Amino acid sequence: MKIIERTLALVGLLSLSALFIYALQDAPTDENFEKKLINDYNVYALQIPDELNFAGEPMPLKDPDTYERMDRELLVNTYWQSNALLMFKRAKKYFPIIEPILEKHGIPEDFKYLAVIESGLTNVVSPAGATGVWQIMPATGRENGLEVNDNVDERYNLEKATEVACKYLKKSKQDLGSWTLAAAAYNAGNAGVTRRMKEQNVKSYYDLLLGEETGRYVFRIVALKEILSNPDKYGFNFREKDLYNTIPTYQVKVDTTVTDFTKFAEKYGINYKVLKLHNPWLRDRHLVNKTRKTYIIDIPEKGYYN
């Protein structure tokens, strides 16, 4: 008991120290920011909007199970503040690239939030091998015209990967009948969703009993849509300059082998790291191009990197 009491006392002392340190920090001085004290922070139950939808398809919030599942995702994603702030920042950088491609293919804009929950708008790799912002499997990438190998992996090319995602989603909508089910199928596969619908004799995602991940999937998308669309409502404060911006680039065509990307980058006034940041689909220090295929390499405009 004495050990526990000492531990609790130490925790209390550290908490008071943290409060004191926080109180001494300078608050943002921009005119749109008000000085906030730490004791103004409160945790509230959230009011679920009367109406929510995904891609124009209403969410049946009068159903108690649907309501509780939506409440869970709004709470989890609102109070995971650091992650949500990163999503606001990255969305400013990447949504302008994703949105016109969705529009070109007739895919509802809400699907940009699917990319948010898939990867956090980063080039992650799943344990199963799904890769990139849209988490595309190797076979799916190749079937849809992407080059996927140890030298070049176009699943890391945001524009090309978004094109592939659009093709997949459009086919899912045709096969399953709704955009909501198409979104679920992006996680569980068309065959998996179709099989569950037949087994349970239902036609709506919200009536299906699914595994944990797919069962939360659409709710997470809608939660991120709601939060990212209404930052003030959910207590997120930031300035325009706090968000990340797309760095303008120009394109260089390459139809030969590149033996050393470090030297290649230096020719354009940048270093190897910056070259790879803008072209993550280049997976090695050189480019093998025996077929003389034309690749488009993005080079940032001058003045954005030291």
Q: What angle do CA 231, 237, 240 make, to 5 degrees?
A: 90
- pLDDT attached to residue 31: 52
Closest to 225 measured CA to CA, from 105, 27, 88, 133: 88
- pLDDT attached to residue 40: 63
Give the C-alpha distances (Å, rounded to integers) separating 44 from 39, 68, 86, 136, 263. Answer: 14, 16, 22, 37, 55
The string of DSSP letters for 219-239 reads HHHHHHHHHHH-TTTTT----
Closest to 280 measured CA to CA, from 136, 124, 145, 137: 124
Q: Which residue has the tokens 């050990």?
A: 3
- pLDDT attached to residue 8: 42
Helices 212-229, 112-119: crossing angle, 10 deg rounding: 120
Phi/psi for 298 (5° steps) reads -85, 130
H-helix or E-strand containing 300? strand 295-300
- 259-274: b (≥16 Cβ within 10 Å) or e: eebeebbeeeebeeeb
Burial class (CB in 10 A: 0-12, 13-18, 19+), 16: exposed
- Whole-number Å distance between alpha carbons of 231 and 88: 9
Q: pLDDT tens digit string along 56-109?
A: 999 999 999 999 999 999 999 999 999 999 999 999 999 999 999 999 999 999
- Whole-number Å distance between alpha carbons of 180 and 208: 12
**CB atoms < 10 A from the CB of 9, how many?**
10
Q: What residue spans define the domains of the chain?
A: 2-40, 53-242, 249-300
In the chain, which stretches have pLDDT less than 70? 1-40
Judging by DSSP bridges, how do beta strands 249-254 and 53-54 pair with one another? Answer: unpaired
- pLDDT attached to residue 301: 96
Q: Which CATH architecture group holds 53-242?
A: Orthogonal Bundle (1.10)
- pLDDT attached to residue 43: 85
- pLDDT attached to residue 271: 97
